[in-house]
Structure 1
């Protein structure tokens, strides 16, 4: 099973939000978090372990305009894809939303399949962009650059394509173990010529690069018949 994508749904329409969250979570592709106001959205985004892959943001909320909030998030340096939800699709509304930094605009009522397609498209574009930055321990991880940076230790780690793909997939698993076979399928594809030994070799090399002590893994753990990324681990300074 592929890893879940975390999504923040911000809408004050309780009925719509409840149905949308249920449908998004139904097949396990998304892990939704709810907010019924900008204040609640701010709390969710400020959470210690908050990592959202995409934000669905209504423009008409009881404590403000979603477009203004979108602009504030961009000023703060938050690059997460934002899709605005609105009951209006006049040209001026669309233009103002995109000018505020939104990646896309969806009118209510919407078809779920269309919304899902737009969500996936925005996440794919973001993950391949230079803006995508993930925190792994004391490192910042830029998949597009295939690089980990630890400013505190003045350390940069260059990754191969496969090493970067392994880290990105494990990160998307949000701390859950991923079996060796799933990792093989996701990173190498359904190729019978590739064995678990190949994966184990790449994991070994990754640990040599990113662990303070490769013999005592703190970030890249062996667990549940596969591997788990402990992205929230604080790696002590050398």
Structure 2
């Protein structure tokens, strides 16, 4: 199963919110959360372990204008894709939404398939951009430049294409173990000539680069017949390919 994108749905219309959540869950590639007010959304975005790959944000909310909220998030440095949801398709409203920092703007009522297509497009664009930065243990991970940076030691680690793809896919699994065959298929595609030994070799080399002690894994763990990325770099366990 492919890793899921955590999505925050912010809308005060409970019926619409429920429909969106159900559709996102059914689709299988998203892990949605919800908020009915800007205050609730702000709390969820500021959570200690908060990680959202995109935000679906209504314009009209009980405690404020979604466009002002979007502008504030951008001023705070948030780069995550934001798609505005609105009851108006007037050009002036669209322009205001985009000027506030939104990546896209879709008017209600909208077709769910169209919204999902736009959401996927924004996620693809963001993941390949210079702005995509993920935290893994002591490192900041920039997939676009295939690099891990450890700020405290001013250390930079160059990654290969496959190492970058492995880390990105495991990161998207949000702390869940990914079976070897699933990871192999996702990174190499359905290539009969490539075996799990190929994956194990790449994991071994990746550990040599990122683990302080490659014989004791803290970040890239062997678990459940596959691998799990421990982004917090917690308890160490002996490395097993």
Do the two structures share a fold, i.e. TM-score over 0.5? Answer: yes
- Offset of residue 23 of structure 1: 1.3
- In structure 2, the partner of 1:169 is 169
- Offset of residue 232 of structure 1: 2.2
- In structure 2, the partner of 1:185 is 185
- In structure 1, the partner of 2:239 is none
Q: Does the 8 Å contact 1:137/1:235 carry over to 2?
A: no
Q: Does the 8 Å contact 1:138/1:235 carry over to 2?
A: no
| Structure 1 unaligned blocks of 5 or more | none
- In structure 1, the partner of 2:89 is 89
- Offset of residue 235 of structure 1: 9.3
- In structure 1, the partner of 2:33 is 33
Q: Does the 8 Å contact 1:177/1:228 carry over to 2?
A: yes
Alignment RMSD: 1.2
Closer/same/farther in 2, CA of residues 227 and 166 from structure 1, 3 Å limit: same
Per the normalisation by structure 1, the TM-score is 0.97
Q: How many residues align?
A: 236
Closer/same/farther in 2, CA of residues 186 and 173 from structure 1, 3 Å limit: same
The separation in 1 between residues aligned to 2:62 and 2:42, in whole angstroms, is 14
The separation in 2 between residues aligned to 1:2 and 1:114, in whole angstroms, is 21
Q: Does the 8 Å contact 1:166/1:183 carry over to 2?
A: yes
The secondary structure found in structure 2 opposite 1:144 is helix
Per the normalisation by structure 2, the TM-score is 0.96
The separation in 1 between residues aligned to 2:40 and 2:71, in whole angstroms, is 17
The separation in 2 between residues aligned to 1:208 and 1:235, in whole angstroms, is 18
Structure 1 residue runs of 4 or more that deviate by more than 4 Å after TM superposition = none
The secondary structure found in structure 2 opposite 1:84 is strand
| Structure 2 unaligned blocks of 5 or more | 237-241
Alignment of 1:42-191 (within 5 A): 42-191=42-191
